[in-house]
Amino acid sequence: MSTFEIEGGVPLRGTVRASGNKNAILPMIAACILTDQEMILENVPDIIDVRHMLEAIVELGGKVERSGERVSIHVAQIRSSELSRELCNKVRTSILCVAPLLHRTGKAKLHPPGGDVIGRRRLDTHFYGLQKLGATVKLNGAYEFLVPKALQGAELFFDEPSVTGTEHILTAAVVSAGTTLIRNAACEPHVQDLANMLNAMGARISGIGTNQLLVEGVASLHGTTHTVCHDHIEAASYLALAAATGGEIRVEGTDLHSYWMCHRVFETLGVKIELHKDHIYLPGNQLLQTTPDFDGSIPVIADGPWPQFATDQMSCMITLATQVQGNVLFFEKMFESRLYFVDKLIAMGANAVVCDPHRVLISGKSKLRGTTLSSPDIRAGMALLGAALCASGKSTVQNANMIERGYEKLEEKLLGLGARIIRRA
C-alpha cells in the first residue's frame, strides 16, 4: 500500500499550474470511440483514472499513443464490445463507453462500475436516456445493451442534473437520428468542454452552458484535436490547502468563470483570493475568520448543481474551516457518505460535530495533531492530506493511490510549494 509521509506546520508558498480536467478527459476518452478516425487530446493529466480509461480503449481494440500531455487515440476497428469485470471495477466512468459502442457495434456489455465509495451513485439517468433513444438494457450479472435498429432522437427530462449522465447521453444523442432535447442537463465546465469537443468532431449541439441542450443528430463524426480545459476542482483544492496552512500561492492556467461560487465560499471563510484572467492569487498572512450571515446566524456552505458550490470541493473546504476562527455548517446534499472522513479530523483534534450523514458543524480554529490516516476517496484523501500539512508533528496518509486517481503529480506539486512530503510505495 502506497503512503504519503508528511511533516506538518509548513505554509504552502509558491506557484502551481492547474492540470487538465479529470472530469472532462474521462468522458472525452470514451467519446473517441464514436469515430474511426484519429483523435488528438492535449493537456491530458497523467492520473490513474486516465490510465484506466486508456486501458479500456486498448481492450476494445483501439490504439493509444502518449507523449507527455498529448495523447493520440485511434479506434479504427472495434475488437470487442465488452469491457472486462476487472477494468470496470477500476474506474466508474467505464460506463461512458456504452453509448459509443452502441453507435459503432449496436451492442455493449459491461459490469457494474467501481469508483469512490461516497454513497449511492445512481445509474438511472444513463439507463433512462439510452432507453429513450432506443436502446434496450438487461441486467444479467452484467449490464447488456442492445440497439435493435439505430438510436433515435427524443425529448428527455432528467430527474437529476447528473454530470456523467449528461455526458453519456450527449455522446449518444449526437449520433442519433433526428433531434434530441435534454432538459435539466448538467452544465459544469467539464460538460461544456466535452460538448465543444463533440462539436469540433462534427456534432451539432446548442445550448452549451445551460441546462437545456438541443442536439441535431449526425450520421458520423470525424477526428479532431482538442485541448482539455483546466481542472477547477484541483485548483480550488490547492487554494484551500494553502489558506489552511497560512500560505501564499499563485495557481496558473485558470479562468474567471469557473470560480464565482467558489470565491463566495472562500469569502465566507474569511479567505481573500484574487481572480485574474489566467491565474488566481492567494495573498499570505491572512487572519481567517468566518463571516456570519447578515442576522448573525452561523453561515451554511451547501453544495449543488452548477453553478452552485461543487460537491468535489467540499472536503478540502472542511479541512480549511478547521483552521478558521468561528463556526460554519457544511451541508452536503448529494452524497450520504462523503462526510465520513470528518471523524478522522476529529481524531486529529478538530472541533467538529457530525449532525447527520449530510451535515457537519465546524468550530475553529483547532490545533491538529499528526497521526496515521487512510484515504477513503479522492477528495477526502486530499482533505486529509491537507489536515496533515496543518498538523503538528508527522502524519502518514495511507492509500495514496486513491488520491492520485484525481490529482496529477501530487507529491511533485506539493514539494514545489514547500511541503515536507515523501511518497513511499
Q: CB-side exposure of 378: number of CA atoms within 13 Å?
A: 21
Q: pLDDT over 90 for what percent of the chain?
A: 88
Domain co-membership, 72 together with 28: yes
Say if residues 360 and 337 touch (Cβ distance below 8 Å): no
Which residues span the domain enclosing 42? 22-227
Where a domain ends, among 203, 227, 251? 227
Angle (CA) 251-255-259 rounded to 5° is 85
- List, for the chain, all residue ranges whose pLDDT scores fall below the cut of 50: 115-120
pLDDT value, residue 114: 60
Domain co-membership, 171 together with 45: yes
pLDDT value, residue 118: 37
pLDDT value, residue 146: 95
Say if residues 249 and 14 touch (Cβ distance below 8 Å): yes
pLDDT value, residue 121: 52
Q: Which DSSP string corresponds to 9-78?
A: ----EEEEE--B-HHHHHHHHHHGGG-SSEEEEES----HHHHHHHHHHHHHT-EEEEETTEEEEE-SS-
Show the cell assigned to 93.
466512468
Helix, strand and coil content of the chain, in percent to the nearest 5, comes to: 35, 25, 40
- State residue 71 phi and psi, 5-degree precision: -125, 130
Domain co-membership, 134 together with 46: yes
Where a domain ends, among 179, 195, 227? 227
In angstroms, rounded to a whole number, what is the distance separating the alpha carbons of residues 168 and 162?
10
Show the cell assigned to 251.
495557481
Choosing from 36, 46, 49, 116, the catalytic residue is: 116
Domain co-membership, 162 together with 282: no
Where a domain ends, among 188, 207, 227? 227
pLDDT value, residue 148: 86
Q: How many CB atoms lie within 10 A of CB 199?
A: 16
Domain co-membership, 138 together with 238: no
Show the cell assigned to 253.
492556467
Considering the entire predicted model, what is its pTM?
Answer: 0.94
Domain co-membership, 127 together with 166: yes
| Backbone φ/ψ region at 90: left (φ over 0), alpha (ψ -120 to 50), beta | alpha
Show the cell assigned to 111.
459490469
What is the number of domains present in the chain?
2
- Give 140's contacts (C-beta < 8 A, 6+ positions apart): none
Q: Give the model confidence (pLDDT) of 171-222 as tens digits.
A: 999 999 999 999 999 999 999 999 999 999 999 999 999 999 999 999 999 9
Say if residues 327 and 363 touch (Cβ distance below 8 Å): yes
Domain co-membership, 79 together with 215: yes
Domain co-membership, 15 together with 56: no
Domain co-membership, 89 together with 221: yes
Domain co-membership, 301 together with 327: yes
Domain co-membership, 203 together with 256: no
In angstroms, rounded to a whole number, what is the distance separating the alpha carbons of residues 395 and 66?
35
Q: Which CATH number do you get for residue 78?
A: 3.65.10.10
Q: Catalytic: 124?
A: no
pLDDT value, residue 336: 78
Q: How many CB atoms lie within 10 A of CB 222?
A: 14
Domain co-membership, 221 together with 245: no
